[in-house]
């Protein structure tokens, strides 16, 4: 969501004279919510609510003619509270988490965090757009689709962890399991070579790995089935769907800088006076999107020789004299540039032909290179 538009909307909505305004900073927990309230310019001590107590209290304040503006940090509780508050008519903002102890007092409680958040919300409402970093709230459908692809990633990590655990158990007793030791072809062979006491230790791990692998394959098939036809060669159906679900809506970006910033693939900077220094990428963005883009960049080098960015960076990436650090920098630049070009493609600002991208219309071919 564009922060400038947010500030303009807030300023216009709050410019009405003689309208009492109640500002709430919410520190959300699993079993309670700590609220720091400000009635117009009057601060009140933080209070704690449980269950639906907060919603009932907000409804009471609205009945008393208070107009409510609130905020809370994005986290493991999703956006359910945001939708509940919005349904009541509250102007709520989900913001990026941060350390609210800016003065390094080394005192952190729910009340102090909510109080510091409330001060930032007050400044934000007054028009200081940098006081808070507002997070875009996805639609319920976007949130469900994103949760599915993230669940697949979590299951794949669990499968990899368990497989490595099996290798560790075998290595402890002098046996080395290589590769996909749990696979249908390899496991029968290991059953003949390993002693029975070691197989008794490995069987629970093997059964768990097989279960995770089955679930990952099922989710992968569902995600790939949702992909569109006409993807660039090298951009598989799985990768394209992961990128689409992590972004949500490409139209929320208004320029290429916003796209690059969301990926976290922009260089960090430490400059002062005449000195300017740029370092490694900030990684202040979506890590799953960043991983998918970097994986895609390697496939673009192989499958898209006519793509303009591949022609620019491929000589440096494949040069044997290029150091590992410089090769990584070139690959990151390719991934960042492709994210911007993909945004331009999805928003109709350019065509694949202009970029030199070769498309495939067979979705099965796209899935095979996911």
SS3 per residue for 97-108 = CCCCCCCCCCCC
- Mapped onto helix, strand or coil, the DSSP state of residue 243 is helix
- The answer to whether 136 and 248 have CB atoms below 8 angstroms apart is yes
The predicted structure's pLDDT at residue 278: 86
- The answer to whether 242 and 292 have CB atoms below 8 angstroms apart is yes
- Mapped onto helix, strand or coil, the DSSP state of residue 226 is coil
Q: Residue 114 and residue 72: Cα distance in Å, rounded?
A: 9
Matching residue, tokens 């005449």:
274
- CB-CB neighbours of 143 under 10 Å: 16
328's CB contacts (< 8 A; 6+ apart) are none
- The answer to whether 345 and 253 have CB atoms below 8 angstroms apart is no
CATH number of this structure's domain 3-125? 3.30.420.40
134's CB contacts (< 8 A; 6+ apart) are 1, 3, 6, 93, 94, 95, 96
Along the chain (370 residues), what's the average pLDDT of each consecutive run of 10 residues?
A: 55 59 96 95 93 94 95 93 96 94 88 95 94 94 95 96 97 94 94 95 97 96 92 92 95 95 91 87 91 95 94 93 93 96 95 92 50
Report how far apart, in Å, the C-alpha atoms of 178 and of each of 167, 170, 181, 183, 196 are. Answer: 8, 10, 6, 11, 19
Q: Which one-letter DSSP state was computed for residue 114?
A: H
Quote the pTM value: 0.84
Environment class of 358 (CB within 10 Å of its CB; exposed 0-12, middle 13-18, buried 19+): middle
334's CB contacts (< 8 A; 6+ apart) are 297, 300, 301, 309, 310, 312, 313, 317
Separation of first and last alpha carbons in the chain: 30
The predicted structure's pLDDT at residue 363: 45
203's tokens: 């069987």
The predicted structure's pLDDT at residue 70: 97
CA 231 to chain CA centroid, Å, is 22
């Amino acid at each position: 969501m564009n922060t400038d538009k947010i500030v303009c909307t807030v300023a216009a909505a709050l410019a009405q004279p003689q309208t009492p305004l109640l500002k709430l900073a919410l520190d959300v927990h699993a079993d309670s919510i700590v609220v720091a309230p400000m009635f117009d310019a009057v601060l009140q001590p933080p209070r704690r609510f449980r269950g639906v107590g907060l919603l009932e209290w907000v409804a009471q304040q609205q009945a008393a003619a208070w107009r409510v503006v609130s905020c809370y940090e994005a986290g493991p509780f999703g956006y359910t509270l945001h939708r509940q508050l919005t349904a009541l008519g509250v102007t709520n903002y989900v913001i990026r988490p941060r350390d609210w102890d800016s003065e390094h007092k080394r005192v952190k409680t729910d009340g102090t965090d909510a109080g510091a958040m409330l001060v930032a919300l007050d400044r934000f409402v007054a028009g200081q757009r940098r006081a808070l970093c507002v997070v875009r709230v996805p639609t319920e459908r976007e949130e469900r689709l994103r949760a599915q692809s993230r669940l697949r990633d979590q299951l794949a990590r669990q499968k990899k962890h368990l497989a490595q655990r099996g290798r560790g158990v075998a290595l402890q007793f002098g046996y080395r399991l290589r590769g996909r030791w749990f696979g249908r072809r390899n496991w029968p062979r290991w059953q003949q070579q390993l002693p029975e006491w070691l197989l008794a230790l490995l069987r629970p791990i093997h059964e768990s790995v097989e279960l995770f692998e089955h679930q990952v394959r099922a989710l992968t098939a569902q995600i790939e089935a949702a992909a569109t036809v006409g993807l660039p060669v090298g951009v598989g159906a799985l990768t394209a769907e992961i990128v689409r679900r992590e972004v949500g809506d490409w139209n929320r970006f208004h320029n290429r800088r916003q796209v690059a910033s969301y990926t976290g693939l922009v260089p960090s900077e430490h400059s002062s006076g005449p000195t300017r220094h740029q370092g490694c990428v900030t990684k202040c963005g979506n890590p799953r999107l960043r991983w998918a883009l970097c994986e895609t960049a390697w496939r673009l080098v192989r499958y898209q020789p006519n793509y303009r960015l591949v022609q620019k960076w491929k000589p440096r990436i494949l040069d044997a004299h290029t150091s590992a650090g410089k090769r990584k920098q070139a690959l990151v630049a390719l991934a960042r540039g492709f994210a911007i070009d993909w945004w331009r493609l999805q928003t109709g600002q350019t065509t694949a032909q202009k970029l030199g991208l070769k498309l495939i219309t067979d979705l099965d071919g796209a899935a095979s290179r996911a």
